[in-house]
Amino acid sequence: MLVRDDTIAAIATPHGVGGIGIVRVSGPDAEGICRILFRTATDTNSLKNHHLYHGDIISPETGSSIDEVLLTLMRKPHSYTGEDTLEINCHGGHLILQAVLNEVIKAGARPAQPGEFTKRAYLNDRLDLSQAEAVMDLITARTDRGRAIALSGLKGNLSEKLQLIRSSLIEILTALESSIDFTEEDISSKPHHNISKDVEDVIIRVENILSTYKEGKLVRDGLSVVITGKPNVGKSSLLNRLLGERRAIVTSIPGTTRDFIEETINIRGIPVKLTDTAGVRKSSEAIEKEGIEFVWEKALAADMVIILIDGNTRFADEDFEVINRNRNKRMVLAINKLDLSHKITDAEITDIIPGVEPMWISAKYGDGIPELKEKIYSLASDSGEHMASDIILTNLRHKNALEKAAKLLAAAKDNISRNETSPELAAFDIRDALDHLGDIAGETTTEDVLDRIFSNFCIGK
């Protein structure tokens, strides 16, 4: 795969005003650009590797100073990209950063494409492809657990486990090919039943990794939960209680919430986006009717709904409508106002929604809220516990590759076990499985797939 030999540059810090902003330069001309633009008391011809220098970035055309900076030169291969890399720490105003970047480009660099620094790190064997993807996961992680999983990927934990699996498959393939070569000769090779057992062991290892994907996807992508119910059941109070702060307006006037309000909380490492919606009732007011239409749209698109019922009143037509519209959704049924007298019973609830266990809560005082959070987590993950695996699969591309590999290995095992077909067929399947596993690390990945992956990165990374 072609490694470009030009020099790229970009602002590596987010837009906005801050104390420090970084302009990153990578490529063969990085050191030359440093000598053109950087002025310091130290001779720029004797800059040491990985040392921090204080000086000015100047405009060669006018000789005027653009900014007072701290600069680091990292010579290849000991840099993020594996190329000569220059990092210019400027004051963090966008105007300053853009002015410095413009001078860097005039001096011989070109603007970097999205993810191009990380792509070069991959092409220069500083990272494999799964580690490169973990960089973006680390940047976008929304919980500490998501950060820890992404960091594990960046450290190469998934890559290491997959490499061990590939090594096992290569040994199996060697044994199979030996049996092919010596089929007509009086030379003993590894018995087929042993090879079949070895393939089965690899399939189990692959499936163990695949089994972590559901929870990994939750940690990475999060969960959308809509709070719905008739007016004045305490939806906004519940949102505020779950958030631990006053975010939604709470009044006794029906129809207070017209538009939806969205906020995100962390439930056991899963980012949960909560949506407070308008109370469902028959209304002739155009704005309120529009708000209720939003309720149905939001609930339909959500991963889960919390149906909130007022335990201090009898069931109303609006309650039945909300329940009936969400019967096919993943549902938490919360009965609010535990602190007041009960006008409905668990038996009535079970008759209306068989198989759904009601959660009695008080949004006003917080009773039952920890249990409600646990219910959300257990319904989302189909388990009340974290996965015990040392790695958690979060990437759909990785999942698809592992599923293809597992399917091919199952076919190979079947061929070997039956011992009725030529071992060449099993060998073909195992080679294809190796290719799919190699695709995760980028060993067999095409250029268009790489472009698609790195196009999702920010420019400076």
How confident is the model over 7-66, as pLDDT tens digits?
999 999 988 888 899 999 999 999 999 999 999 877 767 789 999 999 999 999 999 999
pLDDT of 112 > 80? The answer is yes
If one compares 422 and 170, the residue with the highest pLDDT of the two is 170
69, β-bridge pairs: 55
Three-state DSSP class for residue 140: helix
Residue with tokens 């090879």: 195
Residue partners of 243: CB distance under 8 A and separation at least 6: 263, 265, 274
For 316-329, the pLDDT digits (tens) are 888 888 888 888 88
What is the pTM assigned to this prediction?
0.81
pLDDT of 397 > 90? The answer is yes
Domains of the chain: 8-127 (3.30.1360.120), 135-212+392-442 (1.20.120.430), 226-381 (3.40.50.300)
Residue with tokens 């962390």: 266
| 3-state percent breakdown (helix, strand, coil) of the chain, nearest 5 | 45, 15, 35
Q: What's the pLDDT band for 252 if we cut at 50, 70, 90?
A: very low
Question: What is the model's pLDDT at position 307?
Answer: 92
Percent of the chain surpassing pLDDT 90 = 56
Three-state DSSP class for residue 291: helix
Give just the sign of the alpha carbon dihedral 243, 249, 251, 257: negative
pLDDT of 185 > 80? The answer is no
Distances (CA, A) of 419 to 145, 194, 195: 47, 12, 11
Question: What is the model's pLDDT at position 423?
Answer: 76
pLDDT of 373 > 60? The answer is yes
pLDDT of 3 > 80? The answer is no
Q: How many CB atoms lie within 10 A of CB 64?
A: 8
Q: How many CB atoms lie within 10 A of CB 4?
A: 14
